[in-house]
Amino acid sequence: MNFETDYIKKLAKILADNDLTEITLENGEEAIVIKRDKEVARTVTEVVPVQQSVQPAPVVQQPAASVPEAEKKTSEPKGTPVTSPMVGTFYAAPGADEEPFVKVGDTISKGQVVCIIEAMKLMNKIESEVAGKITKICVENGKPVEYGQVLMYVE
């Protein structure tokens, strides 16, 4: 598989600019995996056969600041988490000057669009897998999200 150096450099820049940890592109029987180690601030590129199992980078949670137990119990979100199925950019509304798909307190139904994740210039509508009331939205509009990251909670 031949990937041009400039193309790989552009992908690495996208990785760094959007604070992402990994990008995987498949082409036929091979794939290119570009990983970024945030702590070392370096980018590693490898070409692997598609037959290998390419796993998404684990989501690393930052340790919580020391908070008294009573505050922890009240600050824990309630409900079922709606998670990001991909790496991309979170958008709460279909357009910059439009109302958000959902707000805290809204009642939603299963299959209702709750946000958009932009990945590789494609706008992917994210639908809720549960019905209920939005109790918390965990991501700011226009911010990058990781695979498996909690976007919001539905109770």
pLDDT in the model for residue 39: 55
Task: Please indicate, yes or no, if residue 72 is contained in any of the structural domains.
Answer: no
For range 133-150, the mean pLDDT: 94
Share of the chain above pLDDT 90, in %: 45
Residue span of the structural domain in which 35 resides: 5-49
Residues in the chain: 155
Long-range contacts of 51-56 (CB under 8 A, 24+ apart): 54/24, 56/22, 56/87, 56/147, 56/148
Question: Which pTM was predicted?
Answer: 0.52
pLDDT at 113 over 60: yes
Task: Please indicate, yes or no, if residue 71 is contained in any of the structural domains.
Answer: no
State the Cα–Cα distance between residues 137 and 105, nearest whole angstrom. 10
The CATH number that applies at residue 92 is 2.40.50.100
Domain identity same for 44 and 89: no
pLDDT at 77 over 60: yes
Indicate the helix (H) or strand (E) that contains 132.
strand 132-137
Domain identity same for 99 and 147: yes
State the Cα–Cα distance between residues 94 and 82, nearest whole angstrom. 18
Domain identity same for 81 and 146: yes
Looking at the structure of the chain, the number of domains it has is 2
Give pLDDT tens digits for 92-106. 999 888 999 999 999
pLDDT at 116 over 90: yes
Domain identity same for 140 and 85: yes
